[in-house]
Amino acid sequence: MEHPILFISVILDWIGLPVPHGPIGTTFLEKLCEPYLTYSWLVMAFLFVVPKLTLGKLELIPGTGQNFWEVLIGGILDFFAEHMGRKQARMLFPILATFFLYTLLANMIGLLPGFMSPTSSLNITIAMTIIVWVMHHVLGFRYHGWKYYKHFTGPILLMAPFMIILELIGNFARLVSLSMRLFGNILAKEILLGVLFMLAGAFFAPLPILALGVLVSLIQAVVFVLLAVVYCVGAMEHAH
Amino acid sequence: MAEEERGILTELARYGQIGTTFAASIFIGFGIGWWLDNKLFAGKTTPWFSFIFLGFGIAAGFKHLWDLSKKISDD
C-alpha cells in the first residue's frame, strides 16, 4: 500500500493468486493474499528458519550463532526479570519474548525497499493487543480469584456502579491506545518513507528518515512489550 | 523494584501512553453513549446518553491520570 512495489505481492500475482488492489480483499483467497498478511508470514518464517540455521545443535562451547542468541535471549530475560521478578519473568517469557522479536522484526522489515511492515496494519496490532489484554485479565483472575473483580468497584460502596463504568471504559481505552500507538507510529514511518522516496529518492532524501526509522522501530517494539509487562504486573500485584 | 533499575524506557512507556489513553477513553465513552442512543433506544433519548457517557469517558481519562500519579508517588 505504501511502497510502490511489494515483491511478495508481485510473486503471488505472477503465480496467479488474486492479490487485492486495496488494503482489504473481498474473497477469502484475496484476504489471504493481503500484503500485511503475507509479510507477517514472512517475518514468522524468518523467525523460525534463521534461528534453526544459525543455532544448529546446542554446544557447550558456543559458536558465533549460539553466542548471539544466548546474549539476546539472556538480555531479554534479564530485562523482564528487572520489572516483574525472576519467577514471573520465566513464566511469561515465551509469549512476551515472542512479541518482542516479532514486533521488532516486523517494524524493521519496512525499512527495506520492496518490503512493508505488517505492524503498519491495524489488524495485526489489534490482534496482538487483544492477546495481551486477555492475558493480563486471565493472570489477574488466576492470582486473585474473584477478588480481582472487586477492585473494579473502588473503595466506596456507594460509588461502585459509577466506578465500574469508569474502570470498564479505562480498560477498553487500554486496548485502543496500545494498538493505535504501535500502528500509528509505524504507519507514519512507512508513509513518510514512501512519500520521500517518490519525491526525491534520487537525492537520498529518505536516508535520515531511514535512520530515524530504525530508532522508532526499536523503541516501539520495546514500549509495546514493556506496556504488556506493566499491565501484567499491575494485574498480578493488585492487592487492595 | 529499585528506582534506578527502571531506566528511561519504562518511564517512556508509562508517560508516552497518557495522551492516547486519555483520548481513547473519551472516544470510547462517547461511543458507548452514541450506541445506546442511536442503536439500543433507536433515537428516542438522542442527546442524553451521549452526553452522560461523554462525561464518564472524561472522568475515566482523569481517573487514569489519578491512578498513575498515585502509583508514582507510592514508588
Domain ranges of chain A: 7-237
Other beta carbons within 10 angstroms of residue A33's beta carbon come to 20
Residue partners of A50: CB distance under 8 A and separation at least 6: none
Compute the distance between CA of residue A147 and CA of residue A141 in angstroms, rounded to an integer: 8
Tens digits of residue pLDDT in A42-80: 999 999 998 888 887 777 777 778 888 888 999 999 888
Sign of the Cα torsion A134, A81, A119, A38 reads negative
The CA radius of gyration of chain B, in Å to the nearest whole number, is 17
Compute the distance between CA of residue A128 and CA of residue A154 in angstroms, rounded to an integer: 29
In this prediction, residue B4 carries a pLDDT of 54
DSSP state of B40: I
Cross-chain Cβ contact A222/B61 below 8 Å? no
Q: What is the pLDDT along chain A (240 residues), one digit of tens a residue?
A: 445 678 888 888 788 777 776 666 677 787 788 888 888 999 999 999 988 888 877 777 777 788 888 889 999 998 888 888 888 889 999 999 999 999 999 999 988 888 888 998 888 999 999 999 999 999 988 888 888 887 777 777 777 888 888 888 988 998 998 999 999 999 999 888 888 888 887 788 888 888 998 999 998 998 999 999 988 888 887 654
In this prediction, residue B1 carries a pLDDT of 42
Provide the grid cell at A205. 532524501
Burial of A49 (0-12, 13-18, 19+ CB in 10 A): exposed
Provide the grid cell at A107. 517494524
Side-chain-side CA neighbours of B4 within 13 Å: the count stands at 0
Find chain A residues with C-beta within 8 A of B32's C-beta.
169
Q: Could you tell me what percentage of chain B is helix, strand and coil, using 3-state DSSP and rounding each to the nearest 5?
A: 90, 0, 10
In this prediction, residue A1 carries a pLDDT of 43
Cβ of A226 under 8 Å from any chain B Cβ?
yes
Low-confidence ranges of chain B (pLDDT < 50): 1-3
Q: How far is CA A31 from CA A14, A19, A45, in A?
A: 17, 8, 19
Provide the grid cell at A75. 538480555
Interface residue of B1, B5, B10, B62 to substitute, partner A, most A CBs within 10 Å: B10
Provide the grid cell at A96. 512476551
Compute the distance between CA of residue A40 and CA of residue A14 in angstroms, rounded to an integer: 20
> Which residues 21-50 of B are in CB contact (within 8 Å) with A?
21, 23-25, 27-29, 32
**b (16+ CB within 10 A) / e for A197-233:** beeeeeeeebeebeeebeebbebbbbbbbbbbbbbbb
The C-alpha cell 495522551 sits at B19
For residue A9, the distance in angstroms to the closest alpha carbon of chain B comes to 33
Provide the grid cell at B53. 457517557
